[in-house]
Amino acid sequence: MLKQGLQFKLSQKLSPQQIQLMKLIQLPTQEFEQRLKQELEENPALEIKDESADDFENSQLTDSYDEYDDSGNESINTEDINIDEYLSDDEIPNYKTQANNYSSDDEERDIPFASGPSFTQHLKNQMNTYRLTEEEKTITDFLIGSIDDSGYIRRDLVDILDDLAFTENISTTEKELERLLKIVQQLDPAGVGARDLRECLLLQLRRKDEKPCINHAVDILENGFEQFVKKHYNKLLQKFHITEEELKEAIKQIERLNPKPGGSFVGNSKVTEQIVPDFTIRIVEGELELTLNSRNAPELHISNEYNNLMHGYKDSTEKSKSQREAVMFIKHKLDAAKWFIDAIKQRQQTLLLNMNAIMQHQKEYFLTGDERKLKPMILKDIADVIEMDVSTVSRVASSKYVATPYGTKLIKEFFSESMKNVQGEDVSTREIKNILETVIKEEDKKKPLTDDRLALILKEKGYPIARRTIAKYREQLDIPVARLRKIF
């Protein structure tokens, strides 16, 4: 049986302005600049502030255009406008930062990069030295296109066969594809086109001159790869009937090989990512000084031209339908511009408020640079201090960098959980990880320390930690188990 009824319900919902503000807060400096540059083109009511002009008063603007009417009796005000219509994803206004945000002694913002052929094109150019049929050339080009930045083909040949049939209308056999792959694997850099690490290393070794140590290395990779990877050296000695010295020489040859043959070429041709710190912390007369990157504080104002258009509409005696439509469009843009200017100011205040709280919490570290001075700190600690939501702190911490006297750091690196030492004091897990990393670096690589032994050493240093916690921290530091750290 169907029933109808009324129900009252309270719910919290973010307005479009709040959503856009959260997005603005999350943007790092470079993306923020791009956003402003793009959005300035979409809202002609915004201009870069001219230092020689008088400051624009928003109250004057409100007075000037809220009084305009299109009939002589009916007022046009901003309450008649649906904000969603001009704050939608299709028409969000943005701004462009002004050139005088940079002082004359600032670094160049435009960095030239050398351009060259891509890794794929580099390989295809080498194929021109081979005599191939049109079909063979199409297949080898397809194989080269399947090579990733590391230099590997990570797909099964059966899958490549299917793709060739569907996309290139070429029907061939797996045996023929294997033959053409062998040709691709002859290209430089050595090892390119391999399907796994073992094949990559073997391709490089087979290009070297024959020597006993090279032959032993090839034999080990072909017939004892699993024992080699797990560093079961005694098993290798027994299996291949070689001396310790011969095994050392063979391992030395393998260690000289490049496990990612495409990495060197791709790394040199890629545009280097430039990190622009969002904040700067300096030590001035023994005190910390925090500044926000000036590129996050554009000087913007409402276009005087648009303001003049509104005055012209007010003063005109005849108000046509097209004029009324034009003035409504202008009002949309002016309202959006005023809101966005406020949003940028709120963004600046939020960023400074968050970073200042973090700086004060980690004051000892910023004054000394000693990572052992880092205090345990979670997002809620900062959120409670600044009386904001944890999600806001997370947005600031996850994507922003700060320039310190000790280097440029990602802000989220200052956050860590806490543990208690033998004195019952709260210490940062990052401090414990640093100590663990130092202990492992200083260990005897011929007899690396097990997790049980590491737990005992840290306990002696005043950090009672279980073996499983040691294993967790070691994995987070990307440090292998003791057996894989062993050097023969």
Q: Concatenated DSSP letters for 225-240?
A: HHHHHTT-HHHHHHHH
In the structure, how many helices (H) and strands (E) does the chain have? 23, 8
Report d(CA 331, CA 86) in Å as an integer: 10
- Range ranked top by mean pLDDT from 65-79, 257-271, 462-476: 462-476
Report DSSP letters for 326-356, one per residue: HHHHHHHHHHHHHHHHHHHHHHHHHHHHHHH
How far apart are the C-alpha atoms of 466 and 454, rounded to whole Å?
10
Cα dist. 105→398, 401, 403, 453 in Å?
A: 30, 22, 18, 54
Reference 430, options 443, 439, 422, 419; nearest CA is 419
Shortest CA distance to 298 belongs to which of 86, 87, 47?
A: 47
H helices present in 81-185, as ranges:
83-86, 119-127, 134-145, 157-167, 174-184
Note the pLDDT tens digit of each residue in 433-461. 888 888 888 888 888 888 888 888 888 88
pLDDT band (50, 70, 90) for residue 422: low
Across the range 292-305, mean pLDDT stands at: 75
AA identity, residue 29: T
pLDDT of 282 reads 92
When pLDDT is cut at 50, 70 and 90, the band that residue 289 belongs to is very high
CATH top-level class of 417-488: mainly alpha
Structure tokens at 398: 């996850």
Distance, C-alpha 418 to centroid of its chain: 26
Residue pair 379/415 in contact by the 8 Å Cβ criterion: yes
User: Between β-strands 401-404 and 279-284, what pairing exists: parallel, antiparallel or unpaired?
Assistant: parallel
Over the stretch 104-145, which tens digit does the pLDDT of each residue have?
444 444 444 445 578 888 888 888 888 889 898 999 998 998
Question: Domain 120-193 carries which CATH code?
Answer: 1.10.10
Q: Compute how many other C-beta atoms are within 10 angstroms of the C-beta atom of residue 235.
A: 14
C-alpha to C-alpha distance for 260 and 208, rounded to whole angstroms: 18
Please answer whether residues 283 and 405 qualify as being in contact, where contact means their C-beta atoms are separated by less than 8 angstroms: yes
Task: Output the pLDDT for position 116.
Answer: 59
In sequence order, what are the beta bridge partners of 281?
290
Q: How far apart are CA 358 and CA 409, in angstroms?
A: 13
Whether 321 shows a pLDDT value over 90: the answer reads no
The predicted model gives 198-211 an average pLDDT of: 89
Residue 359: per-residue pLDDT? 92
Compute, in degrees rounded to 10, the torsion defined by CA atoms 309, 315, 318, 323: 20
Distance CA 455, CA 436 (A): 9
- pLDDT surpasses 70 at 85: no
Residues 6+ apart with CB under 8 A from 105: none
Tokens of 290: 């925090």
CA 21 to chain centre: 21
The dihedral through the CA atoms of 301, 304, 310, 314 has a sign that is: positive
- Rounded Cα distance, 355 and 395, in Å: 12
Q: What is the pLDDT of residues 45-73, one digit of tens each?
A: 777 665 434 443 443 433 433 443 444 33
One-letter amino acid identity for 80? D
Hey, what are 473's tokens? 């921290």
Judge contact between 438 and 449, C-beta under 8 A: no
Cross-strand bridge partners of residue 290: 281
Higher-pLDDT residue of 290 and 109 is: 290
Pick the residue with more confidence: 98 or 125?
125
Mean pLDDT of 181-197: 90
Other Cβ atoms closer than 10 A to 384: 13
Burial category of 453 from C-beta neighbours within 10 Å (exposed 0-12, middle 13-18, buried 19 and up): middle
